[in-house]
Amino acid sequence: MSHFTHMKTHFQNLFYLKKALNKLNIEVEEKENVVNSSNSELNNKSLIIPQSNGYNAEFAWNNQEYELIVDISFWEQPYPIETFIDKVSQQYANEVIIGESQKIGFQHIKSKQNIDGSNTLVLERWNNNK
C-alpha cells in the first residue's frame, strides 16, 4: 500500500526551482495543470521528477508554494528525501539571490562550495554616480 507524502517547502518561484533542479542534474518534466473554479479557469504548472519505477515525484503548487509530493516507499533518488530537499533548497536560494540581484544591477562573479557544505556567492555592482 502506498501513501503519498506532501513535504512542505519554501519554493515559490517555478523558474528558480526548475533552474536549481537543472543545476543539480535532476531531470524534470513540466506539466500544465488546469483547474476549473466557479469563477474562472486557473493554470499552474508542476515539475515532475521521473523515476524508473514509475512512481514519479512532483513539485506541485498548493496556492502558497511548490510542495514535494512523493510516495516515500518508492523513492528512487541517490540520497534520502531530507537530504534531497536540503540540496534543492540550497541551490534554489543561490538561484534566487543571483537572479534577483541581477535585476538590481549586481553581477555574479563566482560561487564557491565550502568544506562545511555552505556556499559563498560573490556579487558586485559598480556605482555609476560620480
pLDDT tens digits for the chain (130 residues)? 455 666 667 899 999 999 999 999 999 999 887 666 555 555 588 999 999 999 999 999 888 899 999 988 899 888 899 999 999 999 999 999 999 999 999 999 999 988 998 889 999 988 776 6
- On whether the CB atoms of residues 123 and 107 are closer than 8 A, the answer is yes
Q: What is the pLDDT of residue 1?
A: 44
Helices 81-103 and 14-23: crossing angle in degrees, nearest 10, is 120
Report which residue type is found at 118: S
Q: What is the pLDDT of residue 9?
A: 72
For the purposes of burial, counting CB atoms within 10 Å of the CB of 123, is it exposed (0-12), middle (13-18) or buried (19 or more)?
A: middle
The whole-model pTM stands at 0.83
Q: What is the pLDDT of residue 103?
A: 93
Q: What is the pLDDT of residue 107?
A: 94
Q: What is the pLDDT of residue 49?
A: 95
Q: What is the pLDDT of residue 8?
A: 67
